Amino acid sequence: MRGNIDCKQFQVLGSNLQIVIDGFGSFTLIASKILLEENLGSADKSGQVKFEPASWYPLERWLNTLERIEKEFGAALLFQSGMTTPKHAVFPPTVTDIHSALQCIDVAYHMNHAVRGEVMFNPSTGQMREGIGHYQYEHVPTKREIIVRSSTPYPCDFDRGIIAAMAQRFQPNALLTHDAKKCRKHGGETCAYRVTWMA
C-alpha cells in the first residue's frame, strides 16, 4: 500500500521506463542496473535494459525503482527524472497552453496506467477508471497562478518534476513552489504545487 492505494493490480506503460534512463543522463548503466534489479525489462548484450514501450509493467516495481533512486541518489535525481516525463508519456492532442497542459496531466496519467491490463482512460468515450489517485487542477481567479494537487502513489519530487516540466513547456519562466510541511512525505494525503508565471 502507498497511501490509500493498493498498487498490486495496476500497471504502467513501458514507454515511461525511459524516464529513469533519461534522468540519469550519461550514467545509463546505473539506471539499467536498478530497473533490471526491480525486474523491469531485460538486459541486452551490453547490459543495458530493454523494454517494450507499448507493453504494461507492474506499477509496484516501478514505484520501488523510483523510491530506490530517491534513497540511493537523492531527491534531485528523482525531480530530474520527473522533468523528462513529458517526452515519453502519451498526452491528448488538446494541449496548447499552460492551462491545458496542467489540466491534462490527470488524463495523461490515466492513459499511461492500466488496471489488470486495461488502460485507465479511454479517449474515445472519455471514461476514466478510478483507483490510482489524481492530479487536480485549480486556476486561481484573476491571477497567473495554478494549484495542482496530487493524490497519486508517486514520490513528491517526481511529481514536482512532471508539473514543472509541463508548466515550463508553455511558460518558460513558470515557477513552482511546494509546501513541504503538508507533503505526503510527512503524512499528508495530498501534495499541493503552486505554479506562477509572468506575462
Domain membership flag for residue 2: no
Sheet holding 175-178, edge to edge: 135-139, 145-150, 191-196, 175-178
CA distances from 39 to 32, 51, 151 (A): 11, 11, 26
**What is the number of domains present in the chain?**
1
Domain membership flag for residue 135: yes
Q: What is the pLDDT along the chain (199 residues), one digit of tens a residue?
A: 476 788 899 999 999 888 888 888 778 888 899 999 999 999 998 888 999 999 999 999 999 999 999 999 999 999 998 998 877 666 667 888 999 999 999 999 999 999 999 999 998 999 999 999 999 999 999 999 999 999 999 999 999 999 999 999 899 999 999 987 788 888 888 999 999 999 7
Amino acid identity at 143: K
CATH number at residue 140: 3.90.1520.10
Letter string b/e over residues 65-84, b meaning 16 or more CB atoms within 10 A of that residue's CB: bbbbbbeebebebbbbbbbb
Task: Return phi, psi of residue 16, to 5°.
Answer: -70, -25
Report the alpha-carbon distance of residue 159 to residue 156 in Å, rounded: 5
Domain membership flag for residue 1: no
Report the alpha-carbon distance of residue 177 to residue 153 in Å, rounded: 20
Contact present, 59 and 12 (Cβ < 8 Å): yes
Of the candidates 138, 124, 133, 128, which has an alpha carbon nearest to the alpha carbon of residue 159? 133
Contact present, 56 and 11 (Cβ < 8 Å): yes
Mean pLDDT of the chain: 91
Domain of 99 in residue numbering reads as 7-196
Domain membership flag for residue 44: yes
Domain membership flag for residue 81: yes
Domain membership flag for residue 77: yes
pLDDT at 1: 47
Domain membership flag for residue 72: yes
pLDDT at 133: 96
Of the candidates 91, 103, 110, 111, which has an alpha carbon nearest to the alpha carbon of residue 195? 103
Report the alpha-carbon distance of residue 165 to residue 157 in Å, rounded: 12
15: its cell numbers: 514507454
pLDDT at 89: 66
pLDDT at 160: 96
Specify the DSSP element, H or E, that contains 192: strand 191-196
Domain membership flag for residue 133: yes
Contact present, 63 and 38 (Cβ < 8 Å): no
